[in-house]
């Protein structure tokens, strides 16, 4: 019995973008202690699909770690705090696949949230204080992360860029 069976499972990231393919060829079993060809069954496909989802997580984690390592190397070469904040924001936006964003830092002296790095078009710039009525201030006060699918429906949304739809 020589079977040539194959399982192929796409490796899709959280945005359903193709990361790769997991492929397994020629299932083998032991018959009386001797390796023997066997066919893949639906249960094997299910196992491969579960494993593929874990592989995607691992691949994404390795990519994020590589980006973090590169960031740390660049920080060592950065001349000042502003350059470091720029690199931190750039790396974060790259990992999150975003086209714009802000890094906001708490100023202990003035007790205000201040923009320390900015990418993309916005009415607020580096050094500006974040308005009290904003999603960012809400996150600061609650200490909890926020995922806002449509900012135009959020009562605390401050429109620094009218093309932003989610935060």
pLDDT digits (tens, 9 = 90+) for 17-75: 888 898 887 777 666 666 666 777 888 889 999 999 899 999 888 888 888 888 787 77
Q: Which two tokens stand for residue 160?
A: 């620094």
Cα torsion for 149, 120, 82, 124, to the nearest 10°? Answer: -80
Cα torsion for 75, 144, 165, 155, to the nearest 10°? Answer: -140
Query: What average pLDDT does range 151-163 have in this prediction?
Result: 66
Query: What average pLDDT does range 127-146 have in this prediction?
Result: 85
Q: Which two tokens stand for residue 157?
A: 């949304």
- pLDDT the model gives residue 132: 84
Q: What is the pTM of this model?
A: 0.55
Contact 124, 104 (CB under 8 A): no
Question: What would the pLDDT profile of 79-102 be if each residue is shown by its tens digit?
Answer: 788 888 888 888 888 877 788 888
């Amino acid at each position: 019995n020589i079977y040539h069976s194959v399982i192929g499972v796409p490796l899709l990231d959280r945005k359903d973008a193709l990361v790769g393919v997991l492929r397994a060829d020629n299932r083998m079993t032991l018959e009386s202690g001797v390796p023997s060809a066997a066919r893949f069954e639906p249960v094997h496909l299910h196992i491969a699909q579960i494993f593929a989802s874990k592989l995607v997580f691992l691949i994404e984690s390795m990519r994020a770690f590589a980006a973090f390592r590169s960031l740390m190397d660049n920080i060592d070469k950065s001349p000042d705090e502003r350059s470091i904040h720029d690199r931190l924001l750039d790396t974060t936006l790259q990992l999150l696949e975003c086209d714009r964003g802000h890094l906001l830092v708490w100023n202990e002296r003035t007790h205000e949230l201040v923009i320390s790095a900015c990418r993309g078009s916005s009415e607020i710039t580096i050094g500006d204080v974040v308005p009290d009525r904003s999603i960012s201030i809400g996150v600061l006060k609650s200490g909890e992360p926020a995922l806002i699918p449509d900012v135009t429906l959020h009562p605390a949304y401050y429109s620094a860029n009218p093309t932003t739809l989610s935060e």
